[in-house]
Amino acid sequence: MQPLLHNVARSFAIGTAAAGLLVTLTQVGYGLGLAVIVPLGDLIPRRRLVVVVFLASALAMAISAIAHSYGLFAILAVIVGLTSVGGQILIPFSADLSSPERRARTVAVLMSGLLMGILLSRTVSGIVAQLAGWRSVYYGAAALMALEALALVRLLPQERPRPHASLSDTLLGGIRLVRQLPQLRRRGLAGALAMATFSALWTTIAFHLSASPFRLSQAAIGAFGLLGVAGVVAANAAGRLSDQHRQQWSSFIAALLMLLGYAALLVGARNIVVIAIGIFVLDAGVQGMQVTNQSVIYALAPDARSRITSAYMVMYFAGGAAGSGFAGWIYDAHGWRGACWFGIALGCASVAIALLAPPKLSVRSGHSPGNL
């Protein structure tokens, strides 16, 4: 949605803050999906769950495409977010299928695929919105989600049997895990700061690039998403470092890149080349941090990886929702420089967290979640 915000705002005759709220609502819905839907992967087969979620997402996208009221579209934004958690069901599935010595790299490969999808969606959505209007992007997304659901029915392997978990343990287990695992809390905070940094950038960048002196088209703004290819490279590099048990070093590099990226965006606010470099560096930091965090949390409780994913990603996207909400308000009040200073503050906090000595793991690999 973020590359389309400028056109969506004009279509519904709303301001920057109201448009930024749409991103926040989508992320709130995503957080609800993480809290309620993703943990069900520890209770029912993920192969079946992910197909249902993809089909529900396709339906929500299709209805969004025909909405002509801002209020209705805002409600649908929550539903779209709620049904967009399919990737977070597949990631713990892949971790279960991988050997321990290659788990981080397997997660990195899957994250690279997700990142490439995000990059292409930003660019393609910008081009399609310019040629056929932003609603056509939603129609296309609905069709692609439906096709992907059909492909997953044929391609996903069967899962190995897992210990039985009750519905209450499944839905509340994430809360218990957060309370009992210091590493999960620490990685959740690091992830929340990274996602807040990422959301703050992509909530405001379209407004900055569409204004003077740039006045870029929707397609040109969408093309900036391709700079996130740095995230693909960083994800694989972080995966290799994590498999070598160098997560703290990887975390520090990622946090420093986020800080330096926003510093470049502030200093080069009127220079398109410097802005491009800032986006490239910042995306590398955010995605490197994400893969590092996931490599740590998936070693904490192997039989509860869906609940681990749910707990972590709720914190991650809570940070994203806060980042986009505050960024839209700050941009409305203080412009691009204010939004950049907000991002720099988030980057400084990420560096501070990365420098802290990590606590010892509270749950060993292979520990059953039954006692959590």
Q: How confident is the model at residue 177 (pLDDT cuts 50, 70, 90)?
A: confident
pLDDT digits 0-9 by tens, 5-26: 778 888 888 887 788 788 888 8
Residue bearing the bigger pLDDT, 248 or 75: 75
Over 70: is that where the pLDDT of 48 sits? yes
Structure tokens at 217: 């088209």
Q: How confident is the model at residue 369 (pLDDT cuts 50, 70, 90)?
A: very low
CB atoms within 10 A of CB 115: 24
User: Which domains, ranges and CATH numbers included, belong to the chain?
Assistant: 2-363 (1.20.1250.20)
Highest mean pLDDT among 32-46, 307-321, 330-344, 351-365: 330-344
Residues counted in the chain:
372
Please give the Cα distance from 320 to 38 (Å, whole number). Answer: 18
Q: How confident is the model at residue 370 (pLDDT cuts 50, 70, 90)?
A: very low
Please give the Cα distance from 362 to 203 (Å, whole number). Answer: 37
CA 209, 349, 23 angle in degrees (round to 5)?
40
Give how far the C-alpha of residue 90 lies from the chain's centroid of Cα atoms, to the nearest Å: 14
Query: Which residue type sits at 301?
Result: A
Q: How confident is the model at residue 27 (pLDDT cuts 50, 70, 90)?
A: confident
Of 74-78, 98-102, 296-300, the one with minimum mean pLDDT is 98-102
Q: How confident is the model at residue 231 (pLDDT cuts 50, 70, 90)?
A: low
Highest mean pLDDT among 5-9, 14-18, 214-218, 324-328: 324-328
Positive or negative, the CA dihedral 372, 300, 346, 343 is: negative
SS3 20: helix
Residue bearing the bigger pLDDT, 120 or 62: 62
Residue bearing the bigger pLDDT, 324 or 118: 324
Please give the Cα distance from 139 to 297 (Å, whole number). Answer: 36
Nearest to 156 by CA among 49, 47, 54: 47
Report the pLDDT value the prediction gives residue 218, as an integer from 0 to 100.
Answer: 67
Please give the Cα distance from 235 to 244 (Å, whole number). Answer: 14
Highest mean pLDDT among 39-53, 146-160, 263-277, 282-296: 263-277
- What mean pLDDT is predicted for residues 309-319? 84
Is-contact 302 309, C-beta < 8 A? Answer: no
What global pTM score does this model have? 0.69
Is-contact 310 174, C-beta < 8 A? Answer: yes
Is-contact 327 342, C-beta < 8 A? Answer: yes
SS3 72: helix
Q: Computed over its alpha carbons, how large is the radius of gyration of the chain?
A: 20
Mean pLDDT of the chain: 81
